[in-house]
Amino acid sequence: MEYTHLGRSGLSVSRLCLGTMNFGPETSEVDAFAIMDRAHAAGINFFDTANVYGWQKGEGITEQIIGRWFAQGGGRRERTVIATKLYGSMSDWPNDTFLSARNIRRAADASLRRLQTDVIDLYQMHHVDRSTPWEEVWEAMSVLRQQGKILYVGSSNFAGWHLAAAQEAARARGTVGLTSEQSIYNLLTRDVEREVIPACEHYGIGLIPWSPLMGGLLGGVLGKERAGRRRTAGRAREALAANREAIEAYEGFCASLGAEPANVGLAWLLHQPVVTAPIIGPRTTEQLDGALQALQIALGETELAELEKIFPGQNTAPEAYAW
Catalytic residues: 53
SS3 of residue 151 by DSSP: strand
HSE-up of residue 59 (Cα within 13 Å, Cβ side): 10
Residue 318, φ and ψ in degrees, nearest 5 = -85, 0
CB 318 within 8 A of CB 56: no
CB 195 within 8 A of CB 169: no
Pairing status of strand 12-14 against strand 3-5? antiparallel
List strand residue ranges (DSSP E) for the chain, in order.
3-5, 12-14, 17-19, 46-48, 81-86, 120-125, 150-156, 178-184, 206-210, 279-280
Q: How many CB atoms within 10 Å of residue 273?
A: 7
Q: Give 126's contacts (C-beta < 8 A, 6+ positions apart).
A: 50, 52, 85, 86, 87, 88, 156, 157
Residue 240, φ and ψ in degrees, nearest 5 = -65, -40
SS3 of residue 68 by DSSP: helix
CB 175 within 8 A of CB 202: no
Where does residue 173 fall: left (phi above 0), alpha (psi -120 to 50 degrees), or beta otherwise?
alpha
